[in-house]
């Protein structure tokens, strides 16, 4: 899956999420409303999109910190066998963050 997620047998919904994360990583200033609309079109909720942005940003931050400190990845940990245990679901649990209320004038 890490080599080519588009050919890993994931659902179109999952591929769209990963395409967004890849684009956000490589071209953050290029993200537009069209991306959010495309994610919604395949079934992601606004709360999911917020999670995607946070998770992608956090991963990129941690990756850059590790690179900046010269941390080397231990390749002999046998993580490859764990990929079958990953749970990817087409449906996401609803998230409630409370209501956003416009400030009073």
pLDDT (tens digit, 9 = 90+) per residue, 78-95? 666 666 665 555 554 544
pLDDT of residue 86: 58
Residue 34 in tokens:
């069209």
- Report the candidate in 87, 42, 83 with the shortest Cα–Cα distance to residue 17: 42
For the cut 50, the answer to whether the pLDDT of residue 102 exceeds it is no
Q: What is the pTM of this model?
A: 0.68
**CATH 1.20.1290.10 at 5-85, yes or no:** yes
pLDDT class of 70 with cuts at 50, 70, 90? confident
pLDDT class of 97 with cuts at 50, 70, 90? very low
* 99 against 86, higher pLDDT: 86
């Amino acid at each position: 899956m890490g080599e080519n997620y588009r050919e890993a047998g994931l659902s179109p919904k999952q591929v769209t999420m990963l395409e967004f994360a890849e684009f956000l990583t490589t071209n953050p200033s290029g993200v537009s409303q069209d991306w959010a609309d495309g994610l919604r079109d395949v079934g992601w909720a606004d709360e999911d999109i917020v999670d995607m942005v946070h998770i992608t940003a956090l991963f990129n931050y941690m990756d850059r910190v590790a690179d900046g400190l010269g941390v080397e990845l231990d390749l002999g940990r046998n993580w490859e066998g764990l990929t079958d245990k990953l749970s990817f679901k087409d449906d996401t649990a609803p998230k409630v963050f409370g209501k956003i209320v416009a400030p009073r004038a």
